[in-house]
Amino acid sequence: MQAQLSCIDHVHIFTNDRDKACDWYCQHLGFEIDTRYQSWAEDPAGPLTLLNGEIHLALFKRDNAIQSRHIAFGCDAKNFLLWREYLSSIAALKSCSDHHLSWSLYFEDPWSNQHEITCYDHHAIRSMISQS
């Protein structure tokens, strides 16, 4: 069975000042802080997640921020495990991370662009991984 993606889940945006970037995206583009993931923003290296309808931005503070983006695709738990298997089989998978509220697969394409597949069915994935 071919693994499927369901959406672009979020885009990483790197900035020298996460708070100023948050203010700008909220004031000018109508984003709001997504309080479900506020605990991630408490870590200075973690993302401050913004939401505008179905659009998510993950703001990361980086000193001397490079102009870079990181696209995260979304899927359900079943497809997440299929993607993990497939990306491993083609040697593209860099890591699989349990973020306690979600799971993420980090991989890169042949041109070294960083990507992610994320799933919020946290308990389902944990259960499936423990059974395998």
pLDDT digits (tens, 9 = 90+) for 18-70: 998 899 889 987 889 999 999 999 998 899 999 988 889 999 888 765 655 67
pLDDT band at 103 (very low <50, low <70, confident <90, very high): very high
pLDDT at 76: 95
Domain extents in the chain:
8-61, 71-131
Cα–Cα distance, 129 to 46 (Å, whole number): 25
Distance of CA 93 to the CA centre of its chain: 15
114-119/69-74 β-pairing: parallel
Burial class (CB in 10 A: 0-12, 13-18, 19+), 112: exposed
pTM exceeds 0.75 for this model: no
100 contacts 57 by C-beta, under 8 angstroms: no
Pick the CATH number of 71-131 from 3.40.1350.10, 3.10.180.10, 3.40.50.2000, 3.10.290.20: 3.10.180.10
